[in-house]
Amino acid sequence: MEPEPPGGRGVIGLDEEATLVVVDYGAGNLRSVQRAIGAAGEQALVTSDRRDVERASALVLPGVGSANDAMKRLRALDLVEPLRAYAASGRPFLGVCVGLQLLFDWSDEGGGVDCLGIVPGTVRRFEADLAAGRKVPHMGWNSVHVTRPDPFVEGIADHSYFYFVHSYYAVPTNPADILGETQFGLPFAAMVARENVVATQFHPEKSADLGLRLYRNFAVRARGTATV
Amino acid sequence: MLTRRIIPCLDVSGGKVIRGVKFSADRVVGDPVELAAEYNRQGADELVFYDITASAEGRGLIMEVLERAAGEVFIPLTVGGGVKSADDVKALLRAGADKVSVNTQAVLDPAIIADGADRFGSQCIVLSMDVRWNGERGYYEVVTHGGRRPTGMDALEWARRGVELGAGEIVVNSIDADGTRAGYELTLTRLIAEAVPVPVVASGGANAPDDMYRVLTEGRADAALAASMFHYGDFTVDQAKRYLADRGVPMRQRARVPA
């Protein structure tokens, strides 16, 4: 995957004090995530500067493509330790698609790569099964079983549909970290939530109104945390 | 359960939506972004913008269309038509496309598939092929330049090769069926859908929801693309999806967000 050149800093919306940070490491869906956050009525700071990560009151880690490339770029931008420290600080963290996979210890992609190690578990590849009609990538709208209540999924009915495009899936060591489960030959973690960290394997920014609702839920929760 | 997808296609020329019948007799039908927003409201699962602008000066307009659409419509957007290089792919992705489809250029230079997949990921490279039954020699032949030029290439072999090169999805457009509204080419669609490990989108010939039902069941397609059927208001996307869901085809129900 070819990186978009990190664009430095840019505030979306009007509020100069915006502290919802979207990490810009050249992920292909960065702009879509930006647009969706804007359409959800929220403001964000798009940045590749580690000092902004350190200062953020809420953070979104987007991602499309391969986990190896993503880790390579996060390392090159010196963002790996700041992201780990941010997650450990208890502030709200949202990972999207590859941004979910990066949270885990390890991904099998491209011969294997160490990831951020924020949520215990590994990332594996789906096996295509033409006889069973299972094609990889898992591409399209699939339903998500919400396993427990959480402020992130407020207003989202159980078994709602979201848009997925991925060939790898996360296997959390602790099943209690799974917030949403989806069937694709086998059940896999469509949403993960552990303490202050939440993540979706699907693309909320491509999942119409329900996806925008998730960004809004995340931002609202983040503001709640910030005022405590 | 993973649903089958219903994909309205907007043929765009000089920034306007048009629809040709057998690639001729174009009729202007509307503003692409307005139509895109309307299809999103009706529950479209994705949208395709197909740029058929002939003139060089009109080509930049597709970027504006994409940028406007991507700011309003939060479902996957695919763009195709006239894509000549991996740099074109990059420009379209930057403008707001989630996937880019390559057709004639991929036949002329298959490296565009590999190059695009390497640089941007297989998930955003769609191989779109126009296919016509060659009655003389008895095979499905890939054609280019909007159906005018035969290539001598077998459609199934080209689909397999495209996947090897890195295409993440295949669109099979039957030139025999395109714009005739006589139903999809079921045999061709099934032949390819059963042979490749990536999703296959059926295109060309949709006239009614039952055509979609047949191509998604008998034709084994993962998604059905249609233009005229929706543009002229004969059926809404919602009506088509309800028809399919009633007959057991897995469909995404239209999203409703509680206040």
pLDDT in tens, B40-50: 999 999 999 99
CB-closest option in B4, B75, B196 to A163: B75
What lies within 8 Å, CB to CB, of B121 at 6+ separation is: A1, A28, A64, A65, A66, B168
The answer to whether the CB of B10 falls within 8 A of the CB of B97 is no
For A208, counting Cβ atoms within 10 Å of its Cβ (0-12 exposed, 13-18 middle, 19+ buried), the class is buried
Q: Is the dihedral of CA B202, A144, B69, A31 positive or negative?
A: negative
CA-based nearest distance A83→chain B, Å = 24
Residue B181 reports pLDDT greater than 80 = no
Confidence tier at B36 by pLDDT (50, 70, 90): very high
Is pLDDT larger for residue B180 or for residue B142? B142
Give the pLDDT confidence score for residue A76 in this predicted structure: 96
**Topology of B5-246 in CATH?**
TIM Barrel (3.20.20)
Lowest mean pLDDT among B2-11, B55-64, B232-241: B55-64
| A146-155 confidence digits (pLDDT tens) | 999 999 999 9
What lies within 8 Å, CB to CB, of A36 at 6+ separation is: A204, A205, A211, A212, A215, B74
ipTM: 0.90
Task: Name which of A141, A145, A163, A166 to mutate to probe chain B: the one with the most chain B Cβ atoms within 10 A of its Cβ.
Answer: A141
Within a domain: residue A3?
no
Instruction: State whether A210 and B257 contact (CB < 8 Å).
Output: yes
The DSSP element (H or E) to which A66 belongs, if any, is none
Residue B24 reports pLDDT greater than 60 = no
Show which of residues 178-237 on chain B sit within 8 Å of chain A, judged by CB atoms: 194, 196-199, 220, 222-223
Residue B134 reports pLDDT greater than 70 = yes
Is B11 catalytic? The answer is yes
Within a domain: residue A103?
yes
The answer to whether A185 contacts chain B (CB < 8 Å) is: no
| B192-227 confidence digits (pLDDT tens) | 999 999 999 999 999 999 999 999 999 999 999 998
Within a domain: residue A23?
yes
CATH number at residue A98: 3.40.50.880
Give the pLDDT confidence score for residue A30 in this predicted structure: 86
Instruction: State whether A64 and B2 contact (CB < 8 Å).
Output: no
The answer to whether the CB of B42 falls within 8 A of the CB of B36 is no
The answer to whether the CB of B182 falls within 8 A of the CB of B215 is no
Comparing CA positions, the residue from B183, B257, B168, B253 lying closest to residue B224 is B183
Distance CA A89, CA A203 (A): 26
Token pair for residue B56? 């060089």
For B134, counting Cβ atoms within 10 Å of its Cβ (0-12 exposed, 13-18 middle, 19+ buried), the class is middle
Confidence tier at B20 by pLDDT (50, 70, 90): very low
Cα-trace Rg, chain B: 17
Within a domain: residue A65?
yes
- What percent of chain B has a predicted confidence (pLDDT) above 90? 71
Within a domain: residue A44?
yes
What is the rounded average pLDDT of the residues A95-115? 95
> For chain A, what is the domain count?
1
Token pair 């309307």 is found at: B38
Residue A227 reports pLDDT greater than 50 = no
Confidence tier at A64 by pLDDT (50, 70, 90): confident
Between A and B, how many CB-CB pairs are < 8 A? Answer: 109
CA dihedral B199, A153, A155, A11 (to 10 degrees): -90
Confidence tier at B254 by pLDDT (50, 70, 90): low
- From residue B108, how far is each of B85, B112, B113, B146 by CA, in Å? 11, 9, 11, 14
The answer to whether the CB of B240 falls within 8 A of the CB of B212 is yes
Residue A85 reports pLDDT greater than 80 = yes
Distance CA B75, CA A10 (A): 25
The answer to whether A163 contacts chain B (CB < 8 Å) is: yes
Domain of A152, in residue numbers? 10-227
CA dihedral A179, A180, A181, A182 (to 10 degrees): -160
Distance CA A136, CA A139 (A): 7
Instruction: State whether B121 and A66 contact (CB < 8 Å).
Output: yes
The answer to whether the CB of B222 falls within 8 A of the CB of A135 is yes
What is the rounded average pLDDT of the residues B52-62? 76
Residue A90 reports pLDDT greater than 60 = yes
Give the pLDDT confidence score for residue A15 in this predicted structure: 46
CB contacts of A140 in chain B (<8 Å) are: 2-5, 45, 199, 222-223
Confidence tier at A191 by pLDDT (50, 70, 90): very high
| B135-158 confidence digits (pLDDT tens) | 999 999 999 987 889 999 999 999
Token pair for residue B9? 């296609």
Give the pLDDT confidence score for residue B30 in this predicted structure: 76
